[in-house]
Amino acid sequence: MYMSRLDSLSAYLPVLAHEAFHAWNPGRMGDVPDCKKIEWFREGFTEYYAYLLVHRAGLMALPEYLNGINRDLRTYPPTTDPYHRGRLIALWLDANPQGFQSQKLVG
């Protein structure tokens, strides 16, 4: 990524955090094939945690963070973008960690 001295670093923080988070997801999760079937997880969860970590570090104001979440919520139904869909699934799971455990699976 190229940045000139005139560029604001704060504008690139989510991108830098996203790419750094890829060292863990899927890098530290085992040998995961580069497959379109898990792209929503690989990219969406990485996107979710990149923005969340930048916000929690105090480098992104709450209104800016929420604007990104709201943008994804508005585009959720018609989009197939794995970044948006996976980010919202990660948000839901983060807010509802017992979600899967409280539902009975029908076999």
pTM strictly above 0.75: yes
The arithmetic mean of pLDDT across residues 35-43, rounded, is 83
Q: How many other CB atoms are there within 10 angstroms of residue 93's CB atom?
A: 14
- Tens of pLDDT, residue by residue over 53-69, are 999 999 999 999 999 99
Return the pLDDT at 39.
Answer: 86
Count H helices and E strands in the chain, helices first: 4, 0
Domain boundaries, the chain: 15-95
Return the pLDDT at 87.
Answer: 93
Q: Spell out the residues 6+ positions from residue 3 whose beta carbon is closer than 8 angstroms to its own.
A: 9, 12
